Copies of this chain bind each other. A is one copy, B any other.
């Protein structure tokens, strides 16, 4: 039996920033070496960032990534780190002849083993996910090689992300071929309460592979995706050994003991992958001799966040990374005194600091007294930067040129506000944050190019009822890394008052929508669970409401397509994960 100290590099790469990602790989490997690790494992496509979408179809990009991989292998050796093996994800190519429908250049979602200045083994994801947020049949061809390298006597296999989620393939081959450890680089996006699913999966696959399993996940925001980390180590029985925190970078160092020592011969061996394909195992030996016994350090197991801490942390990280990675230094948003903009401002202040948050109060002829005072109270509590720009005279100027009434006149006010925010954004370089919530987005209760204007929409996947919950939670809690120091940052009146768009006298959301508790339950069943009207009624929803809400949701598809991106926290955030035709005459019948 042997021991190994494994370092899990739960890191936050930036898409396309090959040199910064390479620098980070070297720095984290140095940390791992200083902590006595025998192996460092980075995340899926770490060198390129994940996902890179159509960049993967560009020859120049794939070439540059492969060059970077080879350079970083040499650089590790030059900097005295060559004896510490590193597993890291990148993009390779399969070298297949072109054919109709095959992604240009036949790219591979690959992982490499770097050792003594060289790339000594390569593998690539076998199972390509093409559901939810994933489009990998569009981008990759499947890998069919599985490296198992001997490290201090222990056979270590490498598989990539989705290969854990599907039956058959690399995990099944590891079970047949035998290994002492399976390491898996991942880029698995956050979704509410997904951590339980991941642990159960890792445990099951460890038992199937018959060895310990190291699951290393990306952390950070990338467009609509938030990666939460939550890296996991389980033993061969599927028992949890160690776990990294969520929503933070972490070098998780874990001592594994009782690992089997192998003397299997090196070479290439084909195996039936159990899914109609053959996978070739590449066995190689880095070092046959087990390390001398040493005292194992206790394995850290980070505590799980509760639901609200988890969601709120995801939103903060998403905003912070979207702002920073896109080169912005500050954000701007309209502050109405209502709960949506209050929560959005608070998330922004936690993400980038209140001195980088600009709010604009834009009262109209229909704004109530408390709109202004509640907004001012938030500014006072949080110390964000504010200005006031009344819209009445601008609205009047429009109304002199064109005749508008009813909904058209209401929308005009929202568009004037959107234009003010976009103007100040253009003038001062702030990123505009959009403040709409998921209930509005689902039902189309928003104005195209009005309140939906902006660059990023932090709460677009948060239903209104959860907006209130998160506001209450934030008033009672904070987390390490939040940049806002104020106590109870959100004015109580913004939380407790009745919601209104204030685009006409005495307007209330309930004039147009059912109460949010009722609406959100119905939306969850219709949107997340894809229930038809009969199923919705059978589940206890009011038939008339079902017809009305389904119609609202279906007709709002165009507005949703035009909405800015925002962090995904549920199975369906109206991004790539739910897409209807715009021209669509299908209407659910409740009869």
Give the interface of A toward B (CB within 8 A). Answer: 14-18, 20, 49, 51-55, 57-61, 63, 99-104, 127, 129-131, 135, 137-138, 165-167, 221-223, 276, 321-322, 325-326, 389-391, 393-394, 396-398, 400-408, 411-412, 415-416, 418-420, 422-424, 426-427, 448-449, 453, 455, 530, 532-535, 558, 561-562, 564-565, 578-588
Contacts and interface: CB of A to CB of B under 8 A. Distances in A.
A401 B407 CA distance: 25
Contacts of A400: 393
B99 A325 contact: no
B408 A426 contact: yes
A165 B533 CA distance: 38
A102 B131 CA distance: 8
A415 B419 contact: yes
Contacts of A63: 532
15 contacts: A16-B587, A17-B585, A20-B585, A52-B584, A52-B586, A59-B532, A60-B535, A101-B131, A101-B166, A130-B130, A221-B583, A321-B583, A325-B585, A393-B400, A404-B426
Contact of A398 (B408, B423, B455, B532): B423
Contacts of A55: 580-581, 584, 586
A318 to B, nearest CB: 11
A254 B211 CA distance: 65
A258 to B, nearest CB: 31
B427 A408 contact: yes
Count the copies.
2
Given A426-B407, A586-B17, A581 B52 contact: yes
Contacts of A137: 130, 137
Contacts of A104: 530
A389 B54 CA distance: 42
Contacts of A578: 54
A20 B322 CA distance: 46
A16 B586 contact: yes
A165 B398 contact: no
Contacts of A581: 15-16, 49, 51-53, 55, 222-223
Given A55-B581, A223-B583, 20 more contacts: A16-B586, A49-B581, A52-B584, A55-B580, A58-B530, A63-B532, A99-B167, A100-B165, A101-B166, A130-B130, A389-B402, A390-B401, A397-B397, A398-B423, A404-B427, A411-B426, A412-B419, A419-B419, A448-B453, A449-B449
A127 B102 CA distance: 12
Contacts of A583: 14-15, 221-223, 321-322, 325-326
